[in-house]
Amino acid sequence: MNRFVLPLIGFVFMVGLLGYGLRLDPKLVPSPLIDKKAPPFSLAMLDQPSRQLSTADMIGQVWILNVWASWCVSCRAEHEVITVLASRNLVPVVGLNYKDESADAERWLRQFGNPYATSVIDRDGRVGIDWGVYGVPETFVIGADGLIKYKHIGPVTHESLEQKIMPVLKELLG
Amino acid sequence: MKPLLLILCLCAWFSPLQAAIEAYEFDSPQMEADYNKLIDELRCLVCQNQNLSGSDAELAQDLRRETYQMLSQGKSPQQVVDFMVERYGDFVLYRPRFISTTYLLWLGPFLLLLAVLVILVRRLISTRSPEAVDPEAIARARQILENKEPNQ
């Protein structure tokens, strides 16, 4: 009897370990940017290409950067939730129009509605690389101190808005 | 037969050989070797089980371009790796660094091997040394062997 005990313990341990591993989502790569300074950019605005918005302009207020593109299907799914978030008027939601054609992007905003305070153009995705973007949509919460407080990968759902993003915002806004 | 043919065709379609590789001009063979080594060792985050050289994803193209540009600006391969890790985390490295969170990853197999060796050696030693037997039982056994029919 006794000689079965050790292998059984080992087996149960392995099942537990592998079972835990199965529940993790391999698509969620923890961002090294959390609590780091938001990578600076200065980009032309989609609605007024002659004007630029830079990260320095946003220092002193809590804000959200939402990475989107007209070619991104999940962004459509998320659009409704971003609209809800923006309509609460808690913080400005800035769009980062990632690797998109401006004409397509403007048509997309007309078609679905524009929840963004403004969108800036990252035509070649260079700013996306600085922000560690690898799957559109992505959503960042940036504190008044200019540090990235939270990163959401993939479409924001109503559930993740209430359970993940709102608590972070509430804490930052005090 | 037909489904098999279809599956074979699909396999060919999804083959990584489809990945397009941009033609870059390198200043030196050393730079080319560095570039090829880097894109083999950096992971594409979109298709997570492919490296940058094997992936046709847009992000992989962008990161190959970034790698090429950094090398042509005279940056060292280590600077390129640091640049990627700063943005995408240790996950981009197919060859994880030896840091506190990866000690177990690097040393685990050797610890396991050591544990198995210890168990093996202990087991071998214990089978070699005969177990202590009650001397009375030996005496009785000897008696049985010498007097073939002790009970009669």
pLDDT for B129:
66
pLDDT in tens, A124-160: 999 999 999 998 899 999 999 999 999 999 999 999 9
pLDDT for B17:
47
Q: Tokens for A124, please give them.
A: 């070649």
H/E element holding A81?
A: helix A73-87
pLDDT in tens, B111-139: 999 999 999 999 998 877 666 778 888 88
Residue B3 pLDDT grade (very low, low, confident, very high; cuts 50, 70, 90): low
- Mean pLDDT confidence for A47-60: 94
Give the closest-approach CA distance of A89 to chain B in angstroms.
30
Contacts of residue A124 in chain B, CB cutoff 8 Å? 62
Q: What's the mean pLDDT when you consider all of chain B?
A: 84
E-strand stretches of A3-133: 42-44, 52-54, 63-68, 93-98, 118-122
Contacts of residue B69 in chain A, CB cutoff 8 Å? none
- Mean pLDDT confidence for A42-62: 95
Evaluate the CA torsion angle B115, B120, B121, B126 in order and state its sign. Answer: positive
Q: Is the pLDDT score of B2 beyond 70?
A: no
Residues of chain A with pLDDT > 90: what percent?
87
In degrees, rounded to 5, the angle at the alpha carbon of residue B53 between the alpha carbons of residues B77 and A31 is 65
pLDDT for B45:
87
Helices B58-72 and B29-41, axial angle in degrees (round to 10): 150
Terminal-residue alpha carbon distance, chain A:
61
pLDDT for A1:
63
- Mean pLDDT confidence for B83-107: 91
Of A30, A99, A130, the CB nearest to B89: A30
Mutate to test the interface with A, among B67, B81, B87, B105 (most CBs of A within 10 A): B87
Fill in the DSSP letter of residue B17: G
Q: Which of B147, B87, B137, B82 is nearest to A38 (CA)?
A: B87
Mutate to test the interface with B, among A41, A134, A153 (most CBs of B within 10 A): A134
Inspect the interface and report whether the beta carbons of B87 and A33 lie closer than 8 Å: yes
Contacts of residue B63 in chain A, CB cutoff 8 Å? 129
Q: Chain B residue with minimal CA distance to A33?
A: B87
Q: A138-162 in b/e burial notation, b at 16+ Cβ within 10 A?
A: bbbbbbeebebbbbbbbbbeeebbe
Contacts of residue A39 in chain B, CB cutoff 8 Å? 87
Evaluate the CA torsion angle B131, B134, B139, B144 in order and state its sign. Answer: negative
Q: State ipTM.
A: 0.82
Inspect the interface and report whether the beta carbons of B58 and A99 lie closer than 8 Å: yes
- Mean pLDDT confidence for B18-39: 84
pLDDT in tens, A24-37: 887 777 788 999 99
Inspect the interface and report whether the beta carbons of A99 and B85 lie closer than 8 Å: no
